[in-house]
Amino acid sequence: MTLVCFYGDGIAKPPDGKQDKKVANSIVFNGGYTSQKQKWQGPYHNKQLFSWFIPTTTASSEMEYRKLLRTQRENGVEFIGYYYSSCTANPLKPSGHYAGFPERTLPLTSIKYSSWILKDTNDNFVTWPGDKNRYYLDLGIKEVREAILTRAIGNAMEFGANVLFLDNWNYKYWAPAGQTKERWAEKTLIFLKRARELTSGHNLKLVVNTTSSPHYWPEFAPYLDGISYEMAAHPYRLQNKNSYEQELDTYEKMMQMGKTVFLYTDTLTHKGERWDEDGRKVAATAMLVMPKDNPHWGGIYVSPPRYEVWPVGGWPMWPEQLGKPIGPRKWEANKVSRQFERGTITVTIGENPTFEIIFKY
């Protein structure tokens, strides 16, 4: 992986500190960069990545949570997302155990225990991988759908949120034990359509977090205001030009439909493993399709940010540093590039994909 970028003092120096005449207006990093070396001395571009949208999760208490919401609003955050699981139930934790506030999933005390939980082919309850106390609910049951959405929307309204952010929503990519992908997709789509009806009635925007491939997005995007994706710029997809271009093309189509795309940087590859957690490849991907004027809705964003020093920080600073795009991306053999007012981004597809960012001042 190669990152080429301009360093704050205006002098071109590679990581070893020696000047390289070949990169007179840039600095080259080769994967060995750490946050302890060559710290950015200039100002940060954004204190918060999302100056307009925050998907809040949990705090240690109701008082702390409400304070968090108040702080976000005071900082000009226009949209607050209430975060809730779309398909699971959890028991309440015993007294004395840490339990974040507010709830993020339906409590077991509010469900019909034996009939609402999914069962596998051996008639066993289906639980979350690695958590035997977290149960998958059968979204094919109308009562289940109503219970989840009524509670989640009620909570969102109580805290003054204006976006319902549903996690664990999947379509045709994966299914819980005992469910085929096709059958689970049918159930989750019915759930999503009902979620759209209810959120529209309460003037809430609707966003889902999914691992479903962009190939399927056009089938469910009409019911959403935004899609949060955990597998952007996946290393397998970066090995094939057609696969990567399809991903980029889908992002553009979503934005043209007025949807906002949120790309999560902790891209999963295998169970228990993460890839490219600092999100530089994901950020480069977003820049390849970012509209000239990235709007509140119908734009593309990378989240959550990693508040590291430049240049590792990536996305929070790149739009400001690079300026607006000059035209669309262009392919040349296995390389796709896009020019900006003050630089260029190039991604090379193949068995060992790389990307390059050159700032020109």
For the chain, the domain total comes to 1
10: left (phi over 0), alpha (psi -120 to 50) or beta: left
- Check residue 276 and give its pLDDT: 52
- Check residue 175 and give its pLDDT: 93
- Check residue 51 and give its pLDDT: 60
* Residue 91 located in a structural domain: yes
Residue 192 is part of which domain span? 44-310
* Residue 252 located in a structural domain: yes
* Residue 102 located in a structural domain: yes
Contact 85, 168 (CB under 8 A): yes
The residue with tokens 């400001």 is 320
Which CATH number characterizes residue 186's domain?
3.20.20.70
- Check residue 331 and give its pLDDT: 98
The residue with tokens 């989840």 is 148
* Residue 281 located in a structural domain: yes
**Is-above-0.75 flag for pTM?**
yes
* Residue 316 located in a structural domain: no
What whole-number distance in Å separates Cα of residue 361 and Cα of residue 45?
Answer: 17
Contact 300, 263 (CB under 8 A): yes
Contact 276, 313 (CB under 8 A): no
* Residue 180 located in a structural domain: yes
- Check residue 314 and give its pLDDT: 56
What whole-number distance in Å separates Cα of residue 240 and Cα of residue 237?
Answer: 6
* Residue 265 located in a structural domain: yes
Contact 214, 204 (CB under 8 A): no
* Residue 122 located in a structural domain: yes
298: left (phi over 0), alpha (psi -120 to 50) or beta: left
Kindly list the averaged pLDDT for each block of 10 residues, start to end, along the chain of length 361.
32 35 32 35 40 78 91 84 95 67 92 91 92 94 97 96 96 93 97 98 97 95 96 89 97 97 67 54 90 92 57 62 91 96 92 83 59
Render the burial of 42-67: b for 16+ CB within 10 Å, e for the rest: eeeeeeebbeebbbbbbbeeeeebee
10 Å Cβ neighbour count for 216? 16
Contact 232, 275 (CB under 8 A): no
Measure CA 207 to chain center. 11
* Torsion, Cα of 230, 257, 250, 315 (10° steps): -50
What whole-number distance in Å separates Cα of residue 79 and Cα of residue 73?
Answer: 9
